[in-house]
Amino acid sequence: MRHPGIPTGVHVLLEQDGCVLLMRRAGTGFFDGLYSLPGGHVEEGETLRATAVREMREELGIDLAEAGLTVLGVVHRRSDTNRIDFFLRAAEWSGEPVIAEPDKCDALLWCRRDVLPEAVVPYIRDALEAGPGPWIHESGWA
């Protein structure tokens, strides 16, 4: 029997001068108005690192090298469904991050991890506060 797939997300931590890049979600119907890390869903036949590279190009207009990505941790969360989210750190990138999908994001913010804005997606806040990794966190389960 085939098991139903679990939606899998990849979030990328970009750090510069002691700050991380957050995006404010808009127009998606999912956590709109809250800040999140850039990222998205793994597509059929795609690796985590390939997803990160694709999503950073689509969302921020920047290029990453797969070899420069390290896994920080995993969040297994209960949301509208059972979900798995992987968190990767980019050692470097080329290009300047911009809002490349204005229908999904209306602001970019560089901020220190210890001084996050109040309006952050809860499981993203947990991941940012979890430390350098590797770690596993569960969210939304009774």
Domain that holds residue 72: 8-139
Q: How far apart are CA 39 and CA 18, in angstroms?
A: 20
Q: Is the pLDDT of residue 131 over 90?
A: no
Q: How far apart are CA 117 and CA 78, in angstroms?
A: 23
Task: Answer yes or no: is 1 within a domain.
Answer: no
Task: Answer yes or no: is 23 within a domain.
Answer: yes
Q: Is the pLDDT of residue 1 over 90?
A: no
pTM of the model: 0.92
Handedness of CA 138, 142, 42, 29 (dihedral sign): negative
Average pLDDT over residues 59-82: 92
Task: Answer yes or no: is 60 within a domain.
Answer: yes
Average pLDDT over residues 88-110: 96
Give me the CATH number covering residue 16: 3.90.79.10
Mean pLDDT of the chain: 92
Integer Rg of the chain from CA: 14
Task: Answer yes or no: is 38 within a domain.
Answer: yes
Task: Answer yes or no: is 2 within a domain.
Answer: no
Return all residues near 17 (Cβ < 8 A) that are at least 6 apart.
110
Give the closest residue to 7 by CA, choosing from 34, 36, 40: 40
The count of domains in the chain is: 1
Classify each residue of 120-141 as buried b or exposed e, where b means 16 or more C-beta atoms within 10 Å of its C-beta: bbebbbbbbebeebeeebeeee
Assess contact for 118 and 55: CB atoms under 8 A.
no
Task: Answer yes or no: is 22 within a domain.
Answer: yes
How confident is the model at residue 4, as a pLDDT? 66
How confident is the model at residue 5, as a pLDDT? 77
Task: Answer yes or no: is 120 within a domain.
Answer: yes
Task: Answer yes or no: is 3 within a domain.
Answer: no
